[in-house]
Amino acid sequence: MNAMIEQFVQTLAAGLTAGSLYGLTCVGLAMIFGIMRVINFAQGDFMMVGMYLAVWIAARLGGVHVFGAAAPFIAAILVAPVLFMAGSLLHRLLISRTTGLRAVGLSGEGHQAQLILTLGVALILQNGALILMGSSPVSIVSKLSSRAWEIPLLIDEDSTLFLNQARTISALVSIGVAFLLFRLIRQTGIGKSLRAAADNPEAATYVGIDVTRAHRIAFGLGAAIAGVAGALMVLSTPAQPFVGTDFIIIMYAGVVLGGIGSITGAFWGGMVIGVVQQLSTLVLPLQLQNAMVFLVFVLILLFRPQGLFGRTVERA
Amino acid sequence: MSITRRNLTKLAAASTVVASSSARAQQPAEVVFGLISPLSGPWAKSGDLSRKGAEMAVADINKAGGIKALGGAKVRLAVGDCGDSPEKSKNAAQRLLADEPNLVGGAGAYVSSFTLAVTEVTERAGVPWFTLSYSDAITSRGFHYVYQTSPTADAQAKAALPTLLALAKAATGRDAKKLGIVMDNTASPVSFTKGLRAGGAEALGMQIVVDETFTPPLSDAGPVMQRVRAARPDVLLLLPTAVPDIKLTLEKMNEIGLGHGKLPAINNGGPMGSPDLLRVVGPDMLEGVMFITATWGLKGMEALTEEFRRRTGEPWITQDSLSNYAHMWILKAAVEAAGSTDREKVNAAIKVMDDPEIAKFFPGGRVKFDEQGHRVGASLVIAQWQNGVPVTVFPIDRAVAQPIWPGR
């Protein structure tokens, strides 16, 4: 019985840490989808770029002893402005041509063009990484990845909860970044303009909001968050050019699960996926871990088609 | 001259002499050997290591005077990239044959499913082909031009566990009784462990106390390794095939106090000894981890290993490099024996070959092939990560280090 309790607590902890990171990736996607209504196929590849950038930055910070074990997390934060600028530039040069007010005249409100464009960006990023970085996986080798905080469970002498230090810190940073983003959207002028642009771009224009700029900020923020999430993941998942494809389905599942258009919902959608993915191993063979995620996904959509948070709670 | 039987006989004799002297005069300036290897995609590093081994062999052959039976003709290596799929592998083989009509023989293509595709093409063209791939299917199709220098997956599975148990006993003085299995559900681990579950482990006096199979990629190794910790096996067959999963499982083992050889973990396949893995995982994680492979840096080939390091910059010689180094030398020996670049003659020479010198590149057996194309007596190597380097610990007569088996 004690062994079962230990296994449950350990699995739940693994689900919460994985879920926090999934949640952050989903928030990045929801920023772009919720505000701009753009289905961004390149989101997983922004994550991949974040991973490579973090490895590069951490290698340079690693030489400076003052940063020590914190180097990977500082690198993750430094990835954000780089990807924000890259995302904004990408929006200015390409994405803006198929979105916002420019999309009014396009067939299907520009959605087909957006799909093809973001798919093209994804392919360019993947193959560009293959040319520049090669196919060998790279990672940040940190002692934190193989160290745990051991918390006695007090049910017997042996039972211990192992909290992997790298994953736990990554999860806390993810929650922190997601929280800051929520504050930005709810309590700042930029957030207000983002919400207005999301709710009704035309009406927002009438009241003097620069919708294109709002979209540019949203796209930059979405890319930056994906980059930070990737940078936090690279401690446990090595970077390789096609790593983004492993996560893109989870991102979309999280966004739909949380409620399309809801950024808070996207975070909780990712969290649910992480927890279900891990807890399912207690009752089902390990091989069905991901199948269980999509079973829960289907069940939630069956009984609550608008997702966990829907549009009624929050829109952007 | 009237056409009589006598005149025809004279003409035939004369033309034979002319053809013979013409053949001597037209001995090939170069002899083309082929290599098909994954030089792009997820297996690119292994493909690159294969290429480096084959290139070094060709350079050594040419430095030693080329093919002496053909007047010192030099060998040229033609390389094809089989990418990341059987389809691309088949195309690479077709392209290589089209570009190199004088191809004498070749080697490749690392991943078993790629080798199966490549050899469908080379067999039809009658090109003798060598491979280090493990799949039993490669040499069970009744082909006549395909040769497998590694022990097959089935043979490895049968030989591995008794070997490991013997190694454990030699190192610790006691028998290992409890076996753990953690693997992904890809073809190689599935075939490797099939026999163990079907009574193989029991027959060796071992009980499987934990048996976990996952679909890659693994999102968190915690729950899996926690079960290993609870079951406390004496030996763990740790068989993930993807680098991210290897990293996660090893990190978790260290985290819960089972790393550094405390719980002996054994993988099968050369990728576990890849220099790339060291870069991603770090030496601490890998310390004590063992893997089974067809050949590795063996005692008696220190000079070759050192030369390989010097020429390629790689930190050590791997199975990929070493096997393909040997494959080129086998092809060279066959061309020498045949005295010709004719594929049929070269293939006939391979079929009767029994070369003790080239056999030294492998841990056991001979460079002699049975009717199906298996290398006779092919056996396995067990290597172990010690101080950031994977070193051979079995077979004992070719080992370069003692195994670490500290127990718990």
pLDDT single digits (tens) A203-218: 888 888 898 899 999 9
Amino acid at B218: L
Q: Determine the number of helices (DSSP H) and then strands (DSSP E) in chain B.
A: 14, 12
Contact B54, B47 (CB under 8 A): no
Model confidence at A65, pLDDT cuts 50, 70, 90, reads low
Task: Determine whether the interchain pair A147/B255 forms a contact, defined as Cβ–Cβ distance below 8 Å.
Answer: yes
Contact A229, A181 (CB under 8 A): no
| Mean pLDDT over each residue of chain A, to the nearest integer | 87
Residue numbers in A near B254 (CB within 8 A): 146-147
Average pLDDT of the residues in A10-15: 92
Candidates A281, A282, A294: best to mutate against B (most CBs of B within 10 A) is: A281
Model confidence at B20, pLDDT cuts 50, 70, 90, reads very low
Model confidence at B247, pLDDT cuts 50, 70, 90, reads confident
DSSP string computed for A188-236: SHHHHHHHHHHH-HHHHHHTT--HHHHHHHHHHHHHHHHHHHHHHHTTT
Pairwise CA distance, residues A228 & A85, whole Å? 13
Model confidence at A102, pLDDT cuts 50, 70, 90, reads low
pLDDT of residue B161: 79
Model confidence at A222, pLDDT cuts 50, 70, 90, reads very high
Q: Where are the beta strands (DSSP E) in B10-112?
A: 30-37, 74-81, 103-108
Pairwise CA distance, residues A161 & B34, whole Å? 55
A103 has a pLDDT exceeding 50: yes
pLDDT > 70 in chain B, percent: 90
The domains of chain B, with CATH numbers, are: 30-151+299-377 (3.40.50.2300), 154-293+382-398 (3.40.50.2300)
Pairwise CA distance, residues B92 & B82, whole Å? 5
pLDDT of residue A84: 97
pLDDT of residue A184: 93
Q: What is the pLDDT of residues B24-41, one digit of tens each?
A: 445 568 999 999 998 877
What distance in Å separates residue B42's CA from the closest CA in chain A?
Answer: 6
Residue numbers in B near A6 (CB within 8 A): 226, 230
Average pLDDT of the residues in B321-331: 96
B356 has a pLDDT exceeding 90: no
Share of chain A residues as helix, strand and coil, in percent rounded to the nearest 5: 75, 5, 20
User: What Å distances lie between residue A297 and A28, A261, A271, A312, B121, CA to CA?
Assistant: 20, 17, 12, 20, 45
Question: Closest by alpha carbon to A116, among A30, A39, A174, A169?
Answer: A39
Q: Both tokens of residue B59?
A: 């350079």
The DSSP bridge pattern shows strands B207-214 and B178-184 to be parallel
What distance in Å separates residue B47's CA from the closest CA in chain A?
Answer: 11
More confident residue, A71 or B27: A71
B111 has a pLDDT exceeding 60: yes
Minimal Cβ distance to A289: which of B40, B214, B230? B214
More confident residue, B389 or A308: B389
Q: Both tokens of residue A186?
A: 């709810």
Half-sphere exposure of A271 (CA within 13 A, CB side): 17
Pairwise CA distance, residues A147 & B264, whole Å? 19
List, in order, residues 6 or more apart from B45 with CB less than 8 Å away. A135, A136, B274, B275, B276
pLDDT of residue B18: 45
Contact A226, A46 (CB under 8 A): yes
Pairwise CA distance, residues A184 & A180, whole Å? 6
Contact B51, B37 (CB under 8 A): yes
Residue numbers in A near B256 (CB within 8 A): 148, 162
Distance in angstroms between the alpha carbons of the first and the last residue of chain B: 95
| Mean pLDDT over each residue of chain B, to the nearest integer | 86
Average pLDDT of the residues in B90-96: 96
Lowest mean pLDDT among A178-182, A275-279, B12-16, B140-144: B12-16
pLDDT of residue A236: 86
Residue A64 C-alpha from the chain's centroid: 29
More confident residue, A135 or A42: A42
Task: Determine whether the interchain pair A281/B223 forms a contact, defined as Cβ–Cβ distance below 8 Å.
Answer: yes
Query: In what helix (H) or strand (E) does residue B129 lie, and over which residues does it extend?
Result: strand B129-131
List, in order, residues 6 or more apart from A144 with CB less than 8 Å away. A69, A72, A164, A165, A166, A169, A235
Contact A58, A239 (CB under 8 A): no
Pairwise CA distance, residues A83 & B137, whole Å? 48
Amino acid at A88: S
Q: Both tokens of residue B137?
A: 């299917």
Question: Closest by alpha carbon to B236, among B245, B225, B251, B247?
Answer: B225
Minimal Cβ distance to B251: which of A138, A146, A278? A146
B110 has a pLDDT exceeding 70: yes
What distance in Å separates residue B45's CA from the closest CA in chain A?
Answer: 7
Average pLDDT of the residues in B82-90: 89
pLDDT of residue B64: 94
User: Tokens 């999934």 appear where?
Assistant: A22
B149 has a pLDDT exceeding 90: yes
Model confidence at B8, pLDDT cuts 50, 70, 90, reads very low
pLDDT of residue A287: 81
Give me the helices (H) in B135-200, please.
153-172, 187-195
pLDDT of residue B7: 55
pLDDT of residue B223: 84
Residue numbers in A near B288 (CB within 8 A): none
CB pairs under 8 A between A and B: 106
Model confidence at A63, pLDDT cuts 50, 70, 90, reads low
More confident residue, A80 or A1: A80
Model confidence at B407, pLDDT cuts 50, 70, 90, reads low
* Cβ atoms within 10 Å, residue A312: 9
What distance in Å separates residue A189's CA from the closest CA in chain B?
Answer: 38
Task: Determine whether the interchain pair B276/A147 forms a contact, defined as Cβ–Cβ distance below 8 Å.
Answer: no
Residue B267 C-alpha from the chain's centroid: 15
Lowest mean pLDDT among B68-82, B264-278, B313-327: B264-278
Question: Closest by alpha carbon to B150, among B324, B399, B397, B384?
Answer: B324
pLDDT of residue B171: 64
Cα-trace Rg, chain A: 20
List, in order, residues 6 or more apart from B347 with CB less than 8 Å away. B105, B126, B128, B144, B145, B334
**Contact residues, chain A to chain B, C-beta under 8 Å:** 3, 6-7, 10-11, 13-15, 17-18, 130, 134-139, 141, 143, 145-148, 162, 164, 167, 236-238, 240, 246, 274, 277-278, 281-282, 285-287, 289-290
What distance in Å separates residue B37's CA from the closest CA in chain A?
Answer: 14
Pairwise CA distance, residues A185 & A178, whole Å? 11
pLDDT of residue B217: 80
B127 has a pLDDT exceeding 80: yes
Pairwise CA distance, residues B53 & A54, whole Å? 34
Average pLDDT of the residues in B123-131: 96
Task: Determine whether the interchain pair B222/A146 forms a contact, defined as Cβ–Cβ distance below 8 Å.
Answer: no
The DSSP bridge pattern shows strands B129-131 and B207-214 to be unpaired
More confident residue, A213 or A109: A213
Q: What angle do CA A125, A18, A304 make, to 5 degrees?
A: 95
Candidates B40, B220, B262: best to mutate against A (most CBs of A within 10 A) is: B220
Residues facing B127 on adjacent strands: none
B315 has a pLDDT exceeding 60: yes
Pairwise CA distance, residues A93 & A31, whole Å? 19
Task: Determine whether the interchain pair A237/B217 forms a contact, defined as Cβ–Cβ distance below 8 Å.
Answer: yes
Contact B392, B158 (CB under 8 A): no
User: Tokens 């590795």 appear where?
Assistant: B296
B3 has a pLDDT exceeding 50: no
Q: Roughly what angle, to the nearest 10 degrees, separates helices B112-125 and B86-99? A: 30
Pairwise CA distance, residues A186 & A192, whole Å? 7
User: Tokens 């290599």 appear where?
Assistant: B35
Q: Where are the beta strands (DSSP E) in B232-377?
A: 235-239, 265-268, 290-293
